Amino acid sequence: MATIREVSRHANVSVATVSRVVNGNKWVAESTRQRVLDAMAELGYQPNSFARSLATNKSEMIGMVVGDLTGPFYGPLMQSAELVIRQAGKHMIVTAGHSTLEEERDAVDFLLKRRCDALILHLDRMPDEEIIALCDRESTPIILENRLVPELESCCIRIDNEAGGYLATRHLIDLGHRKIAHIAGPLYKADARDRLAGYRRALEEAGIAFDERSVVEADFLEPGGAQALERLWRRKVDFSALFCANDLMAIGAMKHFRQKGKAVPEHCSIIGYDDVLMSSYVEPALTTVRVPVDEFGIQAARLALSICDGTRQEVQTCFSPELIVRQSTTSFG
């Protein structure tokens, strides 16, 4: 692989000049520039990004950690973020935290060591204090995705999950339901806690007593939804509507209902959360709360980019969820 020095010899100029044409510096005569360009082409010269980054202390890449490299949430998130990063002439480098503290640390470490110009982090397990310490310690700009750390509010791109939980529950209440159960996500995740809080607020506001027994914690996965439903039944709680903290669990619960010969929504209304692709395919199509995932990725990337180049332009940092009414919910009675 040709180096800048070989090019310089080939073109009969100094390395400095070659560097100038590579970087589009205007202080170089057109004739020399052409000569250098030719030499570069002839030798198939590719600048070494390590050397460049070592010298400039910039990597031209934005790091991103997501929970998983797959799935209906993270996929579109990465996709949309990459689009705007690429448009800015930079590149994105993703790594997965797998909802494990250790892996999350490892992922962040990797990106930091790689000297990314900025980091977009979707962290499930890392506690607030650790994140704050991280931001204090490192000079790399950090964006927090889908999470609110009060001390770092201006770096947080998130959705109002409490409002989403409220919206979902309120929809059921508006349909006349009074006995509403909730399958929560894993409560170590802020999303899950916030949605639960929204559920409680809606109930209280409607003068319905909150009952601990009507809430069961599950894992955001489909089989978990069915199991959770089973637990509700075993507890003998009586409910005509069910708010699931995400679509996967809602689908799991719905399937379980039908397996037991009970119709949805006739026997029980079900509402999910996320509006993943599948939700419009299942039968009955799932009523749910839509999260603007694409916008999420776009804004996070914009924010990161703008911090990098100094122009800390304003971006929307808190998104509102939206109710998507389909066939899995119906009025009570």
Site of interaction with a second copy (CB under 8 A): 1, 44, 46-51, 53-54, 59, 68-71, 74-76, 78-79, 82, 91-96, 110, 112-115, 137, 139, 251, 277-278, 281-283
Query: What is the rounded CA–CA span in Å between residue 72 and residue 278?
Result: 9
Facing residues of 184 across strands?
Answer: 217
Q: Residue 261, interface with DNA (CB under 7 A)?
A: no
Looking at the Cβ atoms of 13 and 216, the one nearer to DNA is 13
Q: Residue 140, interface with DNA (CB under 7 A)?
A: no
Given 9, 24, 44, 48, the residue binding DNA (CB under 7 A):
48
Q: Residue 5, interface with DNA (CB under 7 A)?
A: yes
Least distance from C-beta 84 to DNA, angstroms?
24
To which residue do tokens 């000569």 refer? 35
Query: What is the rounded CA–CA span in Å between residue 271 and residue 254?
Result: 10
Query: What is the rounded CA–CA span in Å between residue 218 and residue 14?
Result: 65
> How many Å is the Cα radius of gyration of the chain?
26
- 12 binding partner (options a second copy, DNA, none; Cβ < 5 to 8 Å by kind): DNA
Looking at the Cβ atoms of 59 and 227, the one nearer to DNA is 59
Stretch that binds DNA, among 40-48, 59-67, 85-93, 104-112 (CB under 7 A): 40-48
Least distance from C-beta 40 to DNA, angstroms?
10
Least distance from C-beta 139 to a second copy, angstroms?
8
According to CB under 7 A, which residues from 18 to 37 bind DNA? Answer: 19-20, 22-23, 27-29, 31-33
Looking at the Cβ atoms of 47 and 186, the one nearer to a second copy is 47
- 281 binding partner (options DNA, a second copy, none; Cβ < 5 to 8 Å by kind): a second copy
Q: How many CA atoms lie within 13 A of 251 on its CB side?
A: 19
Joined together, the tokens standing for residue 172 give 């059921």
User: Helices in the chain by DSSP H: which ranges?
Assistant: 4-11, 15-22, 30-43, 49-56, 74-87, 101-113, 128-137, 161-174, 190-205, 222-234, 247-259, 293-308
Least distance from C-beta 42 to DNA, angstroms?
15
Given 34, 42, 54, 151, the residue binding DNA (CB under 7 A):
54
Q: Residue 1, interface with DNA (CB under 7 A)?
A: yes
Query: What is the rounded CA–CA span in Å between residue 227 and residue 138?
Result: 43
Burial of 241 (0-12, 13-18, 19+ CB in 10 A): buried
If DSSP codes are grouped into helix, strand and coil, which group holds residue 242?
Answer: strand
